[in-house]
Structure 1
């Protein structure tokens, strides 16, 4: 009996794996009507530059793959609109800017872009969403968190307790800024605060332009707090409340397509089993962690 159960489980896993590979490789559109298509691009997990890699709480979104999907949608003459399905707490400031710039190129190519917010679309995710043509969020979506942070951990006392000492030879007074082996000086804190203020100003400007808001109003909302989707709509940070299929219908209608039965083309979606087992092509492997995503307080980075 046990052999039969094991055999059935193996067969189910194999079938799910084959289905996921086939679905992801073929990347076929669901043909419901003739005409143009609505592309769906998934942004799921912390946003990091480059290829990304396996994370402890979901795979970080490497900008290389995401930008490649956006460019494919831009170059596909059949794709008239794109829905950016977003489930991300944010991530690297520069990486978020790269994605936002690619979305802008997509719009300049004449494509409608609608953001669909899932469970969470905050911080760097909101930076990207702010520049799209429309934003649709679930009432309980967590969004906002408009701001910038750079955390540095002072491990001097821990090092002393375990007998670790660090000798630093540097070319200038700020070359080891953020070192965990010592406290930061007031001058270093002032220097980093200036950088944070500069990037924060860039963030505020993007939101003000994208949401057509007065900059002072944006600053009053952009103190790092988070909002539900419903609160965000009341404040003008999102346009409509709804799910991904509402966003797809909206994008289709804005592009002059059949909103009731739009043709959908998905980019870059993998099955849960594939994500568990890992994809050698993208470097994602079971047990391979991206420590910059898992422990940002130990490996400091400017993040949204």
Structure 2
């Protein structure tokens, strides 16, 4: 005969719920241990105790939000155990303000610790902008980089709607307010006003590259026509400092930090995963759209 305690045991009365709870607790424990191990450098070969640490900042994909990257850069800058930082860039660009925020964070970091940028497949436009304050920029010969310029995109559907017998109405309190709406074609005044914004954004890009690279502004402006170049071409233009792989960039950073032998890599920012992704090992894909003003899209691409 079962005892009262046995009859009332939760795990026996609700085995499915109990199993789910156990899985949740196991995943939470695993995530906590993994995060701690990553910070301590145990995921990069051996215990980190007594070893020099190098921070790694991953700048990947379209730059639409800078929060995680900037927070991670700030964490590495404030950690006295971190001797230097590697920026690993694989980004074709993105929105303007987030690229500028990362640029500012990297500038502050490079003022306190050695920073080396390592370019993967692509570090163009906003990806180049965000990482250009690095003390040393290392690109593969085939990396695609530069593309210094500003692009705006929009579409109009007024004519198509008219063919369907639909007449759109757009009410504004000023002649520039609806610039870029898909309901109307741009007026000449609206086009010139938006081009004025783009010119100013372009000048900001050129100014910041010239400042970060200690280059003559006229030299930067001469190649700031939106062209993308290879790593080898970028070296000839003075946009990068040397050609090499990620490992060679790390070796260069270790030299700047005065590190002999191996160093522990502390990598981030850590991408948060959903519960189901942790359970199933699913791959999380972010579908993002560019920052827009009305129907316009302004981005460094």
* Bigger radius of gyration among the two: 2
Q: Give the structure-2-normalised TM-score.
A: 0.79
Q: How does 1:50-199 map to 2 (within 5 A)?
A: 62-108=65-111, 110-199=112-201
1:72 aligns to what SS in structure 2? helix
Partners of 1:88 and 1:287 in 2: CA distance? 15
**Partner SS for 1:203:** helix
Secondary structure of the residue that 1:143 maps to in structure 2?
Answer: strand
Report the 3-state secondary structure (helix = DSSP H, G, I; strand = E; otherwise coil) of the residue aligned with 2:239: coil
SS of aligned partner of 1:81: strand
Query: d(CA) in 2 for partners of 1:189 and 1:200?
Result: 16
Secondary structure at the aligned position of 1:43 is classed as: strand
Q: Which residue of 2 aligns with 1:302?
A: 298
Please, which of 224, 227, 251 is the counterpart of residue 226 of structure 2? 224
* Deviation (angstroms), 1:132: 1.2
How far does the alpha carbon of each residue in 1:175-194 deviate from its partner, in whole angstroms, 9 at most, with x for none? 11111111101111111111
In the alignment, does 2:254 pair up with 1:252? Answer: yes
Larger RCO (CA within 8 A; separation ≥ 6): 1
Deviation at 1:287, TM superposition (A): 7.0
Q: Is the contact between residue 249 and residue 262 of structure 1 (CA under 8 Å) also seen in structure 2?
A: no
Deviations 1:239-265 (A, max 9, x none): 11111111111112112222x422211
Flag structure 2 segments of 5+ consecutive residues without an equivalent. 1-26
Deviation at 1:159, TM superposition (A): 2.2
Match in the other structure for 1:265: 266
Q: CA 1:166–1:241 in 2, change beyond 3 Å: closer, same or farther?
A: same
- Summarize deviations over 1:118-168 as a string: whole Å, max 9, x none: 000000111122211110011110101000111121222222234443222
Distance 1:261 1:237, change over 3 A: same
Q: 1:298 to 1:153 in 2, by over 3 A?
A: farther
Asked whether the equivalents of residues 175 and 190 of structure 2 are also in contact (C-alpha less than 8 Å), the reply is: no
2:37 alignment partner in structure 1? 26
> Contact 1:154–1:180 at 8 Å: present in 2 too?
yes
Tell me the secondary structure at the aligned position of residue 153 of structure 2.
coil
Secondary structure at the aligned position of 2:299 is classed as coil
| 8 A contact 2:170–2:183 mirrored in 1 | no
Gaps of 5+ in 1: 1-16, 49-61
From 275, 288, 291, the equivalent of 1:290 is 288
Q: TM-score, normalised by structure 1?
A: 0.78
Residues 239/287 of structure 1: CA separation in 2 closer, same or farther (3 Å cut)? closer
Distance in 1 separating the partners of 2:50 and 2:59: 27
